[in-house]
Structure 1
Amino acid sequence: MDREAIVGAALSLLNETGLDGLTVRRLAEHLNVKNPALYWHFSSKRALLDEMAQILQSRQDFGPPRDGESWQQWLTRRARERRQVLLSCRDAARLVAGTRAGPALIEKFEAELNALVAAGFTPAQALHAIGTITRYVNGFVLDEQAMAEHTADAPQPPATADVFAATPTLAAAIQEAGDSDAAFEEGVRVLVAGIAARRGAKA
C-alpha cells in the first residue's frame, strides 16, 4: 500500500460518505488496515485531504492557452473544465477550498501566469484574473453540491402556481434564466468581460 493507493481509496470513499463522513478510522477500515498504517504515510488528516485535493485538481487540463486560443476563450474553457472536475466527486468544492497547491500544480500555474503576461497582463492582473475565475467556479459548485445534498436529505415540493402568481417577475426570471448550466455560463461571460474591461480601463 502506497500514498497513491491511499489517496485513490480516500477519494472513492469520499463519494460514498461525503466530506463529513470521511475519517481516518473509516478509511483504515475501507483499506482493511489499522489507523497507524495510514499515519505512516500521512502525518495528519489535513495532510491526507491536501493530497486528495491536489490529485483531484490534477485531473484538470492546466496549462497555457492552446494554439489559436485567445485568453478569453482559454479562461472560459478553464472555468468549464474546473467545474466538471469538481462535479465529478462528492463534496469536491469543499475539499479543495483552502488547500495549498503542490509543486506540480504550482509549476503549471506559473506557465498560465506567463501566458497571460505574454498577452499583455501584468503579473498581478494575471493572478487576479485566474483567481477570480477559480473562486467563482469553486463557489458555484459549492452551491450546486450543497443544494444536491439538501434535496437528497429533504426533498422540497415544487413551487405552486399560487406562489408564482404572487411573484410574476421572479417567475419570468426563472423561466428566462434557464438551468444551472446556463447560469454558470452567464457568470463566466460576465467575469471574462469584466476582466477585459478592467484591463482596458487600466491601460
Structure 2
Amino acid sequence: MARPRKPLLSRDRIVEAASALVDAEGLDAVSTRRLAAELGVSGPSLYNHFRNKDEILDAVADAVSAQVDLSMFEESDARDWTAALHDWAVSYRAALAAHPHIVPVLAQGPGRRPAGLRVADAVFGAMVRAGWPPTQATYIGALMRYFITGSALGSFARGFVDDETAYDPADYPHLGQAHRLAEHRQQVDEGAFETGLRALLEGLTLQYERTAAARTVRPAPNGA
C-alpha cells in the first residue's frame, strides 16, 4: 500500500500549526478554516480532534505550560521554598516571553488543562510541605500567577518611542533618556522582573516568619 503523501492529521499537528500562527500573527489569526488550509486538510477533519477554536487555543496554552520547569518542587530537590519559587518563576516567565500572544489565554487559569493543572498542583503542594497553611499556599499560587503573567503581557520598555524629540524636558523633566528604553528592552524588562520577584519573595519570607512565630506561641494555662 502506498504511503500517504502527507502525515496523518493529529492533535499534535493541529496544536503545532496553531502555535505557529499565534506566535507569528496573534490569537485573531487562528480559525479552523485557516488551520485547515495550513495543514492541507478539509475544515471538518479538525473536528475529529477539537470541537472548536477555543479548545485548540486551550491546547496551545497547555503546550506552553508544559515547557515550565517543575523539578524544583520535587520532594527530592534540595532548594528551599523561596529558591524554588524564584527558579520556577524565572522558568515560567521565559516560557511566556517566548510565546507572548498566548498569555491572555493562560491568564484565565488552567481550567481543565493537564499541564496547567500540574503547575498549580506542584506550587500548592510545595508550599504546604514548606509549612504554609493551605489558605496561604493558595494565595501564593494566585499571587505568583498574577505577577508572572502580568509581566509577560507587555513590555514596559516598548511603551516608549525611540525618538528623543518625543519627550520635551519642559513637559517631562525626568524622561530625558526615555527614548533609549526600547533599545535596552530585554535588560529593562528582565531587570524589572527580577527586582519585583525578589521584593515579592522577601515580603513572603517575612510573612512566613510571622506565621511560624505565631504557631510557637501557646496560651498560658488558666490560672497561670
TM-score (norm 1): 0.82
Amino acid at match of 2:106: V
Match of 1:47 in 2: 55
Cα gap change, 1:42/1:79 in structure 2, threshold over 3 Å: closer, same or farther? same
Question: Shift of residue 135 of structure 1?
Answer: 1.3
Match of 2:38 in 1: 30
Contact 1:93 1:141 in 2 (8 A): yes
RMSD over aligned Cα atoms: 2.9
Cα gap change, 1:162/1:130 in structure 2, threshold over 3 Å: closer, same or farther? closer
Find the residue that maps to 1:91 and give its secondary structure: helix
Deviations 1:11-37 (A, max 9, x none): 012122211222221111111112111
Contact 2:65 2:115 in 1 (8 A): no
Question: Shift of residue 158 of structure 1?
Answer: 2.3
Question: Shift of residue 114 of structure 1?
Answer: 2.1
Question: Shift of residue 197 of structure 1?
Answer: 2.2
Contact 1:75 1:130 in 2 (8 A): no
Aligned residues: 195
TM-score (norm 2): 0.75
Contact 2:61 2:105 in 1 (8 A): yes
Q: Which runs of 4+ in 1 moved over 4 A?
A: 168-175
Find the residue that maps to 1:158 and give its secondary structure: coil
Greater helix fraction, Structure 1 or Structure 2: 1
Q: Is 1:190 paired with 2:199?
A: yes
Distance 2:38 2:153 in 1: 26
Q: What 5-or-longer segments of structure 2 have no aligned partner? A: 1-8, 182-186, 215-224
Find the residue that maps to 1:179 and give its secondary structure: helix
Q: What 5-or-longer segments of structure 1 have no aligned partner? A: none
